Amino acid sequence: QVQFVESGGGLVQPGGSLRLSCAASGNIFSIYAMGWYRQAPGKQRDLVATITGSYARIYADSVKGRFTIDRDNARNTVYLQMDNLKAEDTAVYYCNRPSNPGAWGQGTLVTVSS
């Protein structure tokens, strides 16, 4: 079963930037769309960014213009560049496949606070 390992989270001030990475196992990574999700305390897990196998990108309104999703199929890795971070971006961030999802990884915590 495919597995995901997220990294790159941390504490950042409002207006700052972070780049998250997600390494996926498996040798058919390139054909699947990949997504970044986030779950804030006490809230459901939401999909915030998707990149398809053909590199089309879809963003939630809450992050549009601030976050950029990208992928490197040679490294089975998907990235999330987060700029102009806000306090409401504080959450645990996960990656997974929106269709045919695998097991959830442990996620990476992003805390935006002054």
Phi, psi of 54 (to 5 degrees): -100, 15
Q: Kindly state the percentage of the chain with pLDDT values over 90.
A: 88
Model confidence pLDDT, tens digit, residues 18-68: 999 999 987 678 889 999 999 999 999 999 999 999 999 999 999 999 999
Structure tokens at 110: 């992003």
Angle made by CA atoms 39, 44, 50, in degrees to the nearest 5: 60
| Mean pLDDT, the chain, integer | 95
Predicted confidence at residue 28, as pLDDT, reads 74
Q: Read off the pLDDT band of 73 (50, 70, 90).
A: very high
Whether residue 15 contacts residue 99, with contact meaning beta carbons closer than 8 Å, is answered with no
